[in-house]
Chains A and B, each alone.
Chain A
Amino acid sequence: DAKTTQPPSMDCAEGRAANLPCNHSTISGNEYVYWYRQIHSQGPQYIIHGLKNNETNEMASLIITEDRKSSTLILPHATLRDTAVYYCIVRPWNNAGGTSYGKLTFGQGTILTVHP
């Protein structure tokens, strides 16, 4: 019962921007959009998250539509090391502490392949 929809796979040329879309049409007002990625045989790596404003960090940019029903993760200059499975996850924000509320539920993600 994943709450997000992502394309199963995408390709990108090295040095170009990779734009990974995600649909989350049933997102609730208290849910954030999180992005993680998993390189083969490793644990997932946190990339970025946002609520309604666009966010940018050293790894990527996150663009969230005004109605919050979809978002796009942007890797501005993809490298071969960015080849991974990218997961878009919606999760309620909880600052109460010490509970399982807001656990991450992984869907199938998008396999991004960056080629030379």
Chain B
Amino acid sequence: SYELTQPPSVSVSPGQTARITCSGDVLPKQYVYWYQQKPGQAPVLVIYKDTERPSGIPERFSGSSSGTTVTLTISGVQAEDEADYYCQSADTSATYCVFGGGTKLTVL
């Protein structure tokens, strides 16, 4: 098994840029997906394959990758973006999946 590491919390003011990182040794070889989860709701996919945005997700959500770290960036943060964010990846044989511990985004 392996681990993905996320910061427990990130805080930004409305209109600023939030960056949430996800680190793991397998990440140079495997994609990361990002999910947003609001209280009492199921997660929602916001970024897939490190940088791709599903239809219906606002353009302010973007992703990037560098070595063992993948970053979710939310530009022009809005109050409605306050949520928990999780990264997910798989091992190199795509038989084992893992989530990061989650990051709570607080909009001040």
A and B form one complex: no
Which B residues lie at the A interface, using CB under 8 A? none
